[in-house]
Amino acid sequence: MPVFEVFRQERKGQPFAHAGSIEAPDAAFADAWAREQYGRRGESEALWLVPRESIHAVTDWADEFDLKYRRVDGYSIKSRLKEARERAGSAAAVDS
């Protein structure tokens, strides 16, 4: 039997959270069962049902070295400071 993952929203505006799994012969049965288990007492604002086979894992992450520009500690600013100091020093020497 197919397995459906249930995600529920407790209150309007909140994010959806995984509530559990339902084993059901079809989507209509899973829908009815999810409503009974997660919505009958009004504890959910909304439900999402997703067949487990439709969910895929994300395992291919970008190399951290490709994302240096997004991190504060990713740049080495020593060379830029040196260039700025040299420009400031040369500009001060020209002004004198």
- Give the 3-state secondary structure of residue 50: strand
User: So what's the pLDDT on residue 65?
Assistant: 59
CA angle 84, 88, 93 (to 5 degrees): 150
| Averaged confidence pLDDT in the chain | 81
- Which H or E element spans position 4? strand 3-9
Model's pTM, two decimal places?
A: 0.59
> What count of residues does the chain have?
96
CA distance 17 to 94: 64
Class level of CATH domain 3-54:
alpha beta
- pLDDT tens-place string over residues 73-90: 555 677 778 888 888 876
Question: Which residue in this structure is represented by tokens 């049902």?
Answer: 49
- Give the 3-state secondary structure of residue 41: coil
Does residue 94 surpass a pLDDT of 60?
Answer: no
- pLDDT tens-place string over residues 47-72: 999 999 999 888 877 666 555 555 56
